[in-house]
Amino acid sequence: MLKSSKDPASRTVNADDAALFATVRNLWPYIWPHDRPDLRWRVAAAVLALVLAKIATVAVPYFFSWATDALAPAERDQQVMLLAYSPVVLVVGYGVGRLVLSAFNQLRDALFAEVSQHAVRSLGLRTFQHLHNLSLRFHLQRRTGGLSRVIERGVKGIDAIVRFTILNAWPTALEFALSAAIIAWQFGLTYLAVISVTVFLYVWFSVRYSDRRIDIRRRMNDSDTDANTKAIDSLLNFETVKYFGNERMEASRFDAAMARYERAAVETWTSLSWLNMGQTVIFTVGMTICMVMSAREVMAGTQTIGEFVLINALLMQLAVPLNFIGFIYREIRQGIADIEQMFDLLGQPAEIVDAPDARPLKVDGATVRFEDVHFAYDPDRKILDGVSFEVPAGKTVAIVGPSGAGKSTLSRLLFRFYDVTAGRVTIDGQDVRTVTQESLRAAIGMVPQDTVLFNDTILYNVRYGRMDASEEEVREAAAMAQIAGFIEMLPQGFNTQVGERGLKLSGGEKQRVAIARTILKGPPILILDEATSALDTNTEREIQAALDRVSAGRTTLVIAHRLSTVVNADEIIVLEKGRIAERGAHAALIEKGGLYATMWQRQREADEAEERLKRVRAEDDLGIVTRGARADAPRNG
């Protein structure tokens, strides 16, 4: 569930926001989940392993220093034979220390892996669910390819932020504090002052330069999204591209987007090189100053060679967390740049939500009523203007009218993809806005004009109507939809893949799958949204026969383009410019001689013209065959 706008966790994440800790705080519930004590244990164990690793990190250089002093000629001359083996022991201790250091680091990563991946999965799932909760209006305005890319980058960005924050950010500060304390105690405040200035300049430069790179990263993300969107759109419309021979144009559009991505990516890597160079210069200057100071003290006899090696080892050890400071900051900033669009999606309010007191729909007969319904997609574009009608329980009401009259809008309001501007839509007297969306949509079945199938098997697509249905129930639904025979003739039967959007099936076959899916769902209310308008006459008749069987005994709302499919409806409602222009049975409307009669006459003339054209073509084909037979006949002379 999304949080209220007053909650800081619901605030849109912005990569320019200086309060990065607020972002980490928003992610903390996913890192330390209240309902997963096993993951909390892993976090605690990973932190313990991390602390032990840092202690080992600052202890290891001492073994190196002691071994150096033990091996120094001036020191060895003064040693007794019993201590002759101490350099070897110290070198072994150095090696063991490095193994222990590595072991704790690997243990930390292993323990935290499940925690970070759980956070990624939880936020990815939350985003996916939220996208499904957003309105149809939102999805009609967005591009699928762009959305998928935003989610993909966002998930990776979350992984980076979670991992680097817990495993590297504060541990780096801990390691620096330990190293600073040892240097101050072992070498004095002068060394500490030089190192502190070095660290300050290093961090300041890393932060300032990384901030400059955020805009570059944004441009690269935008170009990547644009390129992916164009690629997905082009591939989904593969046939259209081929119909018009626009392969070169599509390639050019994609290449233009990739060229913008290329320029931004080159700029990103170039700026990273300069950032690394600046960090190296700052740290090398600071380390050189400390090494010169130590070398002078060795020459003066106030330090041993081992201490010279120790300061070098400590500084080299410090270089690792310092490098991580710059790296962590870059990764977190880059991660936030990657997830800001994902969090923008999470910040999008759901237009259609259940009322706080919403209850499940109780169906008793399934009478559908539109009461003085007004609706507009935009304030200046009214679609429905005071529409009132009733679909009695078990009856069929057809909605016809010119394109743009508002026919399909009625089905969207009944499904509650949108809410009415005024008036109300009820089922058995219950306003659809007062019941849960889940129960409302469970009571309604839809056979649309353009059936889009999932890129899976026929079995999966039919069973989508009721996922817990048995294979026997699926086969029965397919038989009722008159597609079982076709499926059985396929080599793989119900396990046949239908392809992207069902493109491996014909229009009639896809419609039959949609009908079978709706039969399997078994809803008391049925919507047929121009379900046969895109089919040829013969297929239309077959599909219509199947639809008649499906709608028998169900409350059915038919949105029709072909008037021949609604002549048996209990009532026909004619919409024009968002208003009911006429209503009645087919015969009465024909006798009235109004808009419906005009539409009927035009469709009959069009159908008759089509039939005449078919006869002419058939006669031409027959004439060609007859003439060919005569030409091939043997001649007797």
CATH number at residue 128: 1.20.1560.10
172 and 63 within one domain = yes
Do residues 61 and 178 touch, judged by C-beta distance below 8 A? Answer: no
Lookup: tokens for 81: 């034979």
477 and 427 within one domain = no
pLDDT, mean over the chain: 78
Residue 439 falls within a domain, yes or no?
yes
Residue 636 falls within a domain, yes or no?
no
* Residue in this structure with the two tokens 């507009």, named with its chain if needed: 376
- The string of DSSP letters for 385-401 reads EEEEEEE-TT-EEEEE-
- Tell me the average pLDDT across 577-604: 89
Band of residue 423 on the pLDDT scale cut at 50, 70, 90: very high
The number of domains in the chain is 3
Residue 396 falls within a domain, yes or no?
yes
Residue 493 and residue 487: Cα distance in Å, rounded?
Answer: 5
Residue 406 and residue 45: Cα distance in Å, rounded?
Answer: 62
* Residue in this structure with the two tokens 């005071």, named with its chain if needed: 386
* Residue in this structure with the two tokens 């690792």, named with its chain if needed: 320
33 and 89 within one domain = yes
Instruction: Out of 322, 347, 372, pick the residue that ends a domain.
Output: 347
Residue 90 falls within a domain, yes or no?
yes
Do residues 330 and 275 touch, judged by C-beta distance below 8 A? Answer: yes
- Tell me the average pLDDT across 99-110: 83
551 and 460 within one domain = no
140 and 240 within one domain = yes
pLDDT of residue 330: 65
Do residues 398 and 571 touch, judged by C-beta distance below 8 A? Answer: yes
574 and 539 within one domain = yes
Q: Phi then psi for 244, rounded to 5 degrees? A: -105, 5
Instruction: Out of 314, 329, 347, pick the residue that ends a domain.
Output: 347
- For residue 57, what are the domain limits? 20-347
Asked whether the predicted pLDDT for residue 571 surpasses 70, the reply is yes
Tell me the helices (H) and strands (E) count for the chain, helix number first. 20, 10
More confident residue, 144 or 300: 300
pLDDT of residue 76: 45
- C-alpha dihedral over 228, 270, 342, 203, to 10 degrees? 170
pLDDT tens digits, residue range 171-193?
Answer: 777 777 777 788 888 888 888 88
Q: For the chain, give the percent of residues with pLDDT over 70.
A: 80
Residue 4 falls within a domain, yes or no?
no
Residues 164-197: b if buried by 16+ CB within 10 A, e if exposed: bbbbbbebbebbbebbbebbbeebeeebbebbbe
435 and 335 within one domain = no
Q: Phi then psi for 384, rounded to 5 degrees? A: -120, 135
More confident residue, 238 or 495: 495
Residue 621 falls within a domain, yes or no?
no
58 and 193 within one domain = yes
493 and 417 within one domain = no
381 and 300 within one domain = no
Residue 59 and residue 47: Cα distance in Å, rounded?
Answer: 19
Residue 119 falls within a domain, yes or no?
yes
Residues 340-371: b if buried by 16+ CB within 10 A, e if exposed: bbbbebbebeeebebeeebeebebeebbbbbb
Instruction: Out of 490, 522, 554, pick the residue that ends a domain.
Output: 522
Q: What share of the chain is helix, strand, coil (3-state, %, to 5)?
A: 65, 10, 25
- Tell me the average pLDDT across 514-539: 78
For residue 492, the domain's CATH number is: 3.40.50.300
Asked whether the predicted pLDDT for residue 631 surpasses 60, the reply is no
pLDDT of residue 418: 87
Lookup: tokens for 387: 């529409």
Asked whether the predicted pLDDT for residue 15 surpasses 60, the reply is no
pLDDT of residue 135: 62
- The number of residues in the chain equals 637
Residue 632 falls within a domain, yes or no?
no
422 and 482 within one domain = no
105 and 206 within one domain = yes
Asked whether the predicted pLDDT for residue 17 surpasses 60, the reply is no
